[in-house]
Amino acid sequence: MNTRDDLGARALHILETVFGYPSFRGEQAAIVDAVARGGDALVLMPTGGGKSLCYQIPALLRDGVGIVVSPLIALMQDQVDALAEVGVRAAFLNSTQSFDETIRIERRLRTGDLDLLYVAPERLMTPRCLDMLDTLKIALFAIDEAHCVSQWGHDFRPEYIRLSVLHERFPHVPRIALTATADHQTRAEIAHRLQLEDAHRFVSSFDRPNIRYQIVEKASSRKQLLDFIESEHPGDAGIVYCLSRKKVEETAEFLNENGLTALPYHAGMDFATRSANQSRFLREDGIVMVATIAFGMGIDKPDVRFVAHLDLPKSIEGYYQETGRAGRDGLPASAWMAYGLQDVVQQRRMIDESETDDTFKRVQGAKLDAMLGLCETLHCRRQRLLDYFGQSSEPCGNCDTCAQPPSSFDATVAVQKLLSTIYRVDQRFGAMHVLDVLRGADSDKLRQWGHEQISTYGIGADRSEAEWRAILRQTIALGLISVDHESYGALKLTEAARPVLKGLEKVQLRAYQKPVKTRRTSKPKGYVETDLSAEEQAVFEKLRWWRMETARKHNVPAYVVFQDATMREIAKVQPTSLDALRGVSGVGEKKLESYGAEIVALIGDMATP
């Protein structure tokens, strides 16, 4: 047997016995191989792709301790607990610890008692920490959330830039940088700033086939959200994103009033309440977190079943990162968004009013346009998303537009009516007023301005207000109309409106669809089979109870004991011996030893009538 096969066999052995998984996923095997041999690696993998094993297994294969740099100090305790559950010796160093604890961990490091050490970048960069590392045998450096070096990104951390020191100070220690941020610019910046130009690059597909994308037209968004959760995700854990703190509070309250368990999370709350809410979300089953985007970076919870947006995200990058928090365990999950006219207006205003230079505004404008394009697309959402990240694909069969292809119509005449109405009210009125004129509303305000006299009054009476809003929204999204925020949201015509008004250009729009309750119809490809029979479901519920108790006893999140995917398989297989349980994905030697007997007994109890 040559050394290559030997290393591969050892890696697989660790995967099976420690982590309990039968095989590597995607690029994992190649990444583990490259790093275990001492090479540098730059890994781009979507959230839930399985990045952790890419450094954990090489750290176990190589001599010495693996150092994991991560900005997510709130998660370190859970990460270390999860490793302890599978029998890996791990610890962390960050600002939340006492001096005594630090000393104790440093002692363990010196005696070679640790396989992995998680450390915050600002801590790592202290002379004390670097000096200590000089005296140790280091297996590798893993730089997690590597996009934090990007000054253009939304997660920029100045300390990350200084991480290039690692290469200079420890030239023979392999480094692996990992991120779920896909765009080329960020990729280039990581390679450059961390001096990883010569590293092996591993770029995975960014598709998340288990996530079902849906974007619905906003009518009464809270009610729509409730319908969505009740019909598609009753009892499931999920995240609902809102733009403002106030909306977060109100939405959480609304969901609670309607029988769900929802918790708010935003930067305006005091630290203690915020962390308590986060901790409950991670530890308990079936909680809905209503949050601003301040919540979520690095949320490791694998069984988030849906991510909902009540406001339009600023960019596809942000949207993809946020929705990516659903379904990390590979089981079916949803990304749902309600989107309407007000979102377009609000986002455009935020860009206009931001105090930045014109270049930055243009970049933001282009990002927003791409996001709007996704919302208004007539084609597969996933195809559009992947295309944005430079990856081509076929229609997916697992998004709303695939399930129910929207129709388009020649909207030229309707748009002309809209544009000329705006023109005739001197471009001084907002959406409501303009639509009132078009639809021929009987209103004092119109009479006060003499607007019931103008020639377009009532010429749009054949369409509902909702239809007109959809037309207006798309016309703004296309850039034919702008919203002037300095004069109370007055609608104005842009240069691009001229050829349409003159009849030189046609406009094709997405036909308005009444919001309907959609139901998952077919089983698309890439899906994990999750249907349990009634009997299996009963076993699963029993296991859930057992898991909740066990997690409470050990003071760890439930998923650290076993993930849903593993429990579903146990419910199917119903193993009556330790050997049979060993064959289940997610059951390694340590967990078999800790929980095997209890599980087998529990299954046995259920089998005997």
The site for Zn ion (CB under 5 A) is made up of 380, 382, 396, 399, 402
Q: Name the binder of 399 from ligand ADP, Zn ion, none, CB < 5-8 A by kind.
A: Zn ion
Amino acid in the structure at residue 347: Q
217: closest CA among 406, 476, 439? 406
- Report the nearest approach of Zn ion to the CB of residue 219 (Å): 23
Which of 285, 387 has the CB closer to Zn ion?
Answer: 387
Q: Name the binder of 47 from Zn ion, ligand ADP, none, CB < 5-8 A by kind.
A: ligand ADP
Written in H, E and C, the secondary structure of 362-430 is HHHHHHHHHHHHHHHCCCCHHHHHHHHCCCCCCCCCCEHHHHCCCCEEECHHHHHHHHHHHHHCCCCCC
Which of 5, 394 has the CB closer to Zn ion?
Answer: 394
- Report the nearest approach of ligand ADP to the CB of residue 422 (Å): 47
DSSP string, 551-601: HHHHTS-HHHH--HHHHHHHHHH---SHHHHHTSTT--HHHHHHHHHHHHH
Which of 56, 456 has the CB closer to ligand ADP?
Answer: 56
Q: 506-524: buried (b, 16+ CB within 10 Å) or exposed (e) per residue?
A: ebebbebeeeeebeeeeeb
**Length of the chain as a residue count:** 609
Which of 20, 238 has the CB closer to ligand ADP?
Answer: 20
Q: Name the binder of 24 from Zn ion, ligand ADP, none, CB < 5-8 A by kind.
A: ligand ADP
Which of 189, 329 has the CB closer to ligand ADP?
Answer: 329
Both tokens assigned to 252: 């959480």
**Secondary structure class of 22 (helix, strand, coil):** coil
Q: Name the binder of 382 from Zn ion, ligand ADP, none, CB < 5-8 A by kind.
A: Zn ion
- Report the nearest approach of Zn ion to the CB of residue 349 (Å): 31
Q: Name the binder of 174 from Zn ion, ligand ADP, none, CB < 5-8 A by kind.
A: none
Which of 68, 374 has the CB closer to Zn ion?
Answer: 374
Which of 86, 109 has the CB closer to ligand ADP?
Answer: 86
- Report the nearest approach of ligand ADP to the CB of residue 299 (Å): 10
- Report the nearest approach of ligand ADP to the CB of residue 22 (Å): 7
Question: Chain centroid to CA 485: how far?
Answer: 31
Integer angstrom CA distances of residue 100 from 103, 106, 120, 125, 555: 5, 10, 18, 20, 22
- Report the nearest approach of Zn ion to the CB of residue 381 (Å): 5
Q: Is the dihedral of CA 24, 30, 33, 38 positive or negative?
A: negative
Residues in contact with ligand ADP by CB under 6 A are 21, 24-25, 28, 45, 47-53, 300, 302, 328-329, 563, 585
Which of 24, 388 has the CB closer to ligand ADP?
Answer: 24
Q: Name the binder of 49 from ligand ADP, Zn ion, none, CB < 5-8 A by kind.
A: ligand ADP
DSSP string, 295-358: S-TT---TT--EEEESS--S-HHHHHHHHTTS-TTSS-EEEEEEE-HHHHHHHHHHHHHS-S-H
Q: Name the binder of 21 from Zn ion, ligand ADP, none, CB < 5-8 A by kind.
A: ligand ADP
Integer angstrom CA distances of residue 103 from 100, 109, 202: 5, 10, 37
Q: Name the binder of 233 from Zn ion, ligand ADP, none, CB < 5-8 A by kind.
A: none
Which of 17, 443 has the CB closer to ligand ADP?
Answer: 17
- Report the nearest approach of ligand ADP to the CB of residue 26 (Å): 8
- Report the nearest approach of ligand ADP to the CB of residue 282 (Å): 13
Q: Name the binder of 402 from ligand ADP, Zn ion, none, CB < 5-8 A by kind.
A: Zn ion
Residue 401, exposed/middle/buried by CB under 10 A (0-12, 13-18, 19+)?
Answer: buried
Question: Chain centroid to CA 204: how far?
Answer: 16
Q: For the packed helices 341-353 and 358-376, what is the interaxial angle rounded to 10 degrees?
A: 170
Q: Name the binder of 396 from Zn ion, ligand ADP, none, CB < 5-8 A by kind.
A: Zn ion
- Report the nearest approach of ligand ADP to the CB of residue 180 (Å): 6
- Report the nearest approach of Zn ion to the CB of residue 410 (Å): 25
Distance in angstroms (rounded) separating the CA atoms of residues 384 and 259: 36
Which of 230, 387 has the CB closer to Zn ion?
Answer: 387
